[in-house]
Each structure stands twice: as structure tokens, then as C-alpha cells.
A and B are shown apart, each in its own frame.
Chain A
Amino acid sequence: MSEATNPETPLVNWVLNGQPVQSPAGMTIFEAAKALETTIPNFCYHPGLTIAGNCRICMVESNRSKKPVISCSERIAEGLEIQTESPMAIEARNAVMEFQLINHPLDCPVCDKAGECDLQDYSYDHGPDRSRFDEEKNIRHTKELGPTIDIWGNRCIVCTRCVRFCDEISGTGELCVVERGDRSVVDVFPTVPIDNPLAGNVVDICPVGALISNDFKFEARIWNMRKTDSVCAGCARGCNVEVQSLDGFVKRLVPRENMEVNKWWMCDEGRYDYRYLLADERVTACTKDGEPVEDHDAHETLAHWLQDPGGTLGILVDPYITCEEAFLVEQIASHANNALVGGWKPADGTAQSFPGQFTISGEKAPNRLGVEAVLGKLVFGSQGHALRTALEKGQVSTLIVFAGFPHPDPDDAWVQAIRKAKRRAVFALQAGAWTEGAGLVIPGASPFEKDGTYANEDGRLQRVRSFHAPGDVEWSHDLQRLQAVLRIAGLRPRSLSSSAVFRELADVKKPFHGLSHSTLPATGAPLPGFIPLPVGVEGGSV
């Protein structure tokens, strides 16, 4: 809220639960209390949406009113005294919960929201343990609202968060509340399903299990999943996500709040794009001349190639490698007598902006800026051209390719060029045109399996983490493999964690000075001295 962040906003003296406190004028009781670490229950309030004030669960006791007031819309004022846990406040919330639960099916055991459901939580805190309601519960529709979203109407508490999201954030307005009273429920216009690039967010913000994602329906219980903070690699926006997985399989991605990047949202394209992890084409084992080999054999072979490249060593990177991996690439190149490092990146798409000030970047890869910060701002530009020309002229003897893109883009010119190298090692996510005929193919890690940092289109450095459990060696990521190779080749003494590699990087690369994994805030930090240029401008950085 602007009132809260503007240092010129005057402070208001008020009393919260008996404690005299000060807060910037203009804040709501709810927000001011939250800033003071007092949380008040809420359903319809969402920091990213307009205030609706319809659920009444946020009621508190006020010295200015005989009846409890709703804290999400009432503003603080000089001399206001608020009790959030007084008998009156608690009784008010208990009463709201009793009403909320009258028609609620209480089908938590089969509800996908159970475990992260506000209604469930408040029901434990405030709900009566039995119902005084003797009538029959009413029935509301369960149906598809669009290709990715179902509604289980009986669970809807009509908070209108989802409706406001479509009106205010995506600007597409597909949702509405139909009927009234106890029959009211969320619906779409009969011929206009909810189908917009941000639709998935309504499932996240539904405080109950009324809106259900088809993709996640019945996939896992919330509390069983492993939750890993990482970053979406779908585009250069770098939305902060939580990767939720079970037994080594990603079950869903949900956005994490980061006001500098994605606020509370993410796009559907990024959200649902994780199935490639299990694609049939996924490279799962090392091969040498088409035959499966042990990891160590593959690493050893590559190490020998590096010790004796037999002429020019070429390294083709993509914008999916982490800054740490880029740093090792540079080490490899610096040890070779004759090395050419160049980059390939997927074609730009079109950027999309939404009324809720959310943007999907037109640049469809996560770390161009980060790779440029390590390997030079022309790595995807003229350096890439130079590498390709050398390849086309047959001047490259040994080539290492990083093909970590989730959706192989048959870029013909490059595919033809890399085949001209005398020998080729490919770190590949998927088998295809880039791996065909390669002497060595090494399984590449997907962005969700890497450990390191990406820099988004604003030059904000953010941590990516592997969703696999520690010690789960099945998917050693490229950073570990590269270090294994470098160790065998005698170029690095031992393998280190990505945090340690980052420390080395931060010591020698100016844009990273002063940064470290451990001090990087959860919301990332801008690379100092990095000036992002528009997408499509060559070397749009430094």
C-alpha cells in the first residue's frame, strides 16, 4: 500500500490488543495489524485485489463501535482501540464460521485444498465441533468452468476473490456470482469459459477448495509434498514459484509472493509446463557413440577431450544454464589454448501485459542476462555468430553443447553447424536433433533440477533449487557433472556446492561482487551495475 511505503505519510496513534502502537495513516486495521505481526482471519481480503468486505470473518472489537467492525476495510484512526482476541471478537468470528459451515459439505478428506484451506484452519480455531443445523444442506453445481478449472460449488463461500481477479488482474472478466442468498455460487457465462493466460491463479487464491485445477485434481495431499522455492524458467520474468513434488515427481507449481517480480501471480504457460520432465525423449543416461555408458566413463571421456581438444574447443551455451554453470564454462574455456564460447537462445515471443500490472516476458528463457553477466554481453550475439561461423567452416574440433531447453527448438542453422564439429558432447535434457550423432550425450538437468542462480529480465538475481531431495543422486545436475569432469581433467581440485562456486564467481565477476547465496534475499537482489535493455537488443546488459 502506498500509504505505508511513503515516508511522508503521518503516523497514527492507536491501540492494538492493549498495546499503544503507531502506523501510517490510511492503512486498514487488518493491514496495520499485519505489519505489526498480528494476523486476523480473512477470506475475501487479498492484498492484490480491491476490498470486498463480504465474508465478515475479519471482525474485531472497536472502541468506536457498539458492534464488531470488519478490519479489512475499516481504517485506523487516532485513538482507535482494537481488540482482535476479545470475547466479542471471537464470538463474532465463531458466529461467522457457524454460518459458513451451514451448507459447507465438510468433505476435506476428498478435497484438494485440505491442508492449505483457510476454511479448514479457521474451522479448527473458531468452528463449533457440531452443527446446530437440522435442515438439509443445499446443493450447488460442480462443473467445468474452463479447460483447466472446475468448480465444486458446494464448497464456495462466495468471497468473490476469483471474480475480482478476473475483473482486476487478468482483465478478462469471465467469472461472476450467479443467483443469490444460499444459492449463490461462482459461474461463467454459459458460452464463455474461463480461459485466460493467468487463469490458474484463481485456484491459488480461492480460500477454500471450490476452484480446483484439473491438472492437480486428486494428485497429492498437500502435506505430503516436498516444497522447494525456485524460479519459473518459462520466460525472463522469472516468477518466484514453489515447486511441489511427491516421490520425485513434480505435482504442481504455485507462485510465491515477490513484489519486485510477479507479485502473487504466475502465468498458466509457466504453471503447467513441467510435464517435459517426464517426456519420453528425456535423456536419462550417458551414452558414448550411441551406447549407454557409466556416468564416470562419460565424464572421463569428456575430461580427456578437454585435456586435448585437438584444435579449437567450442562451447555452445543456452540461457538455461545457471550463472554458476556459466562460470565453470568460462574456466574450461580459459584453460584451452584456443576456445570459442557462444550462445544460442530460443526465438523471442510477444510480451503480454495485464491490467493487474503483471507481465509475461517476450523472452522465452530464464537466464540470458545472468549468462551474459558471466560470459560477456555479446555471448548470444556476435560471439555466438563467431562460434557458428567457425563450426560451419569445420574449424572446431571439440564442441560442448548445453541443450537444456525444455522444448527443443529445431534451429536448423545451429543443428547443421554443430554437426560439423569433429566431436561433440551434449548436455541434453531431451534427445533430438541436437544430440543426434553426438559422440557423448550426458543427461542435462531441467531448470527445476538445477541449483544456482538465474538473473531475470530486470537483472534481478534469484535462486533456483532442485526439487529433488538431497542425496537423491539420480539427477546430478550439470554443475556437479561439470565439476566431476574438471576434476578428472585436473582443472579443479574438488567438487563444491553451487554456493561455493558462486563465491568464486562473485570474487572475480564484477556484477556479482558482494553477493552470495546465503545473503541473497528470498526475493532475490538486483545485480549491481546491471542495466537491463529491452528484449531483443543485442547484449542488453552491463
Chain B
Amino acid sequence: MSDLKFSEKGMKKYEWLLTRYPDKQAVLLPALRIAEAEFGELGIPEMKYVADLMGISPARVYGVVTFYTHFRRAGTGTFHIQVCSTLSCALRGSQELADHIAKRLGIEMGETTEDGMFSVSKVECLGSCDTAPMFQLNDNYHENLTLDDVDRIIEDCKKESARGGAR
């Protein structure tokens, strides 16, 4: 826990952010983004680090991190599939999509595969309604999805993982 620290570059960015907002608390979201990029995930030590750095209570950070679905919480698989389940996507078959993914991976929504490779969760509108149904895979959107697309993407992930690529 104690040796966690932003890199020099991360710290510079954080300090620059502090000058950009009238209120320190407002820097929390971008600061968490830096933490996520630098530490890979937001677990207890990472959240604690950000809280101490910003001089706010760890509970506040915890509340913010858990409010959003888009942060990588500790224990999230290498590939995090976030299936949009809001209206446009739902009308265009997101439930079928979600069921298919779950079946292929052998897990339920909100779970992670045993090998830690995949996590899948249902999330609310990702602002890509015009290309429904869609999901977000780590930082990328995959749009106008068919079930075949899903199979292909999952296979690509596995291959990428075999090559040693992470995200």
C-alpha cells in the first residue's frame, strides 16, 4: 500500500489538473483516471492513495469509484466487456447479446472468468445509441454488433492474450 505513487509524469498531470478546477474535489475523477492508467486498477490501496494525495476521506473516493461502472475495480478481468442495456440497445437485442456472451464465457453478468481473462457487466447507456446494440471492451466501443461479431471479438481477445498483449 505504501509504495504506490504516481509517476513523475502522472504527478505533473495531477498538479496541472489542480490548477484547472476551482474546487479540489472536482479533480477526483481525472485523478482516478490517472491512478487507473498508472496502477492498472482501482483497488483498496489505489483508492487510499488517491484519497491521501487529495486530502479527502477514502470513503468519498470509494463512493465515487463504485458509483461509476467505467472504472476498473480490483479483480476485473483482463478484458472487461460492458454491455449497454439501455433503451436503444435493448430494442436492438442487447439482452440476447448479453445472454450470448455469458453463455460463451460460462459466467453470469457481473462475474469474471476463472482464468481472470474476461469480466462482463451490464451497464447503462454508453452514448452510442445510433449504433446499437453495442458494448465497450476495455477502452474501445464495438458497435452494431451481431452474435457472430461477438464470437469473433472474444476469439481475438484470446489470441491477443496468448500473444501476451494485455489491454
B146 surroundings in chain A (CB, below 8 A): none
Closest residue to B43 on the A side, CB-wise?
Answer: A190
Closest residue to A194 on the B side, CB-wise?
Answer: B59
Asked if A173 and B59 sit within 8 Å, CB to CB, the answer is yes
Q: Is B57 an interface residue (CB 8 A)?
A: yes
Distance A192 CA – B58 CA, assembled complex (angstroms): 8
Q: Which of B28-61 contact A (CB under 8 A)?
A: 44, 47-48, 51, 56-61
Asked if A176 and B56 sit within 8 Å, CB to CB, the answer is no
- Dominant secondary structure of chain A at its interface with chain B: mixed
Q: Which of B64-112 contact A (CB under 8 A)?
A: 66-67
Asked if A191 and B44 sit within 8 Å, CB to CB, the answer is yes
Distance A5 CA – B62 CA, assembled complex (angstroms): 39
Stretch at the interface among A23-31, A39-47, A90-98, A177-185: A177-185
- Dominant secondary structure of chain B at its interface with chain A: helix
With A179-B67, A180-B67 as contacts: A189 and B56 at CB distance below 8 Å: no
Q: Is B22 an interface residue (CB 8 A)?
A: no
Closest residue to B47 on the A side, CB-wise?
Answer: A189
Q: Which of B133-162 contact A (CB under 8 A)?
A: none
Q: What 0/1 pattern do residues 176 to 212 of A give for CB contact below 8 A with B?
A: 1111100010011111100000000000000000000
Closest residue to B44 on the A side, CB-wise?
Answer: A190
Asked if A174 and B67 sit within 8 Å, CB to CB, the answer is no
Asked if B60 and A176 sit within 8 Å, CB to CB, the answer is yes
Chain A count of residues within 8 A CB distance of the other chain: 18
Distance A176 CA – B28 CA, assembled complex (angstroms): 15
Distance A190 CA – B61 CA, assembled complex (angstroms): 11
With A179-B67, A180-B67 as contacts: A174 and B59 at CB distance below 8 Å: yes
Interface size, B (range): 10 to 19
Q: Is A175 an interface residue (CB 8 A)?
A: yes
A176 surroundings in chain B (CB, below 8 A): 57, 59-60, 62-63
Asked if B62 and A178 sit within 8 Å, CB to CB, the answer is yes
Distance A174 CA – B60 CA, assembled complex (angstroms): 8
Asked if B58 and A189 sit within 8 Å, CB to CB, the answer is yes
B51 surroundings in chain A (CB, below 8 A): 189
Asked if A191 and B60 sit within 8 Å, CB to CB, the answer is no
Distance A487 CA – B110 CA, assembled complex (angstroms): 78
Asked if B67 and A173 sit within 8 Å, CB to CB, the answer is no
Among A166, A187, A189, chain B packs the most CB atoms within 10 A around the CB of A189
Cβ distance A525 to chain B, nearest Cβ, rounded Å: 40
B47 surroundings in chain A (CB, below 8 A): 189
Q: Which of A132-171 contact B (CB under 8 A)?
A: 166-167
Distance A189 CA – B1 CA, assembled complex (angstroms): 15
Closest residue to A191 on the B side, CB-wise?
Answer: B44
The contact of A192 among B56, B59, B66, by CB within 8 Å, is: B59
Cβ distance A107 to chain B, nearest Cβ, rounded Å: 25
Among B48, B59, B60, B62, chain A packs the most CB atoms within 10 A around the CB of B59
Asked if B67 and A175 sit within 8 Å, CB to CB, the answer is no
The contact of B57 among A174, A179, A184, A190, by CB within 8 Å, is: A174
Cβ distance B2 to chain A, nearest Cβ, rounded Å: 13
Asked if B67 and A189 sit within 8 Å, CB to CB, the answer is no
Closest residue to A184 on the B side, CB-wise?
Answer: B67
Cβ distance A55 to chain B, nearest Cβ, rounded Å: 18
Report, nearest first, the 7 A-B pairs whose CB atoms are least far apart.
A173-B57, A176-B63, A176-B59, A189-B58, A178-B66, A189-B59, A189-B62
Q: A174-B59, A178-B63, A184-B67 are in contact. List 11 more A-B contacts (CB 8 A).
A: A167-B57, A173-B56, A173-B57, A175-B59, A176-B62, A179-B66, A180-B66, A187-B59, A188-B59, A189-B58, A192-B59
Q: List 6 A-B contacts (CB under 8 A).
A: A173-B60, A174-B59, A176-B57, A178-B62, A178-B67, A179-B67
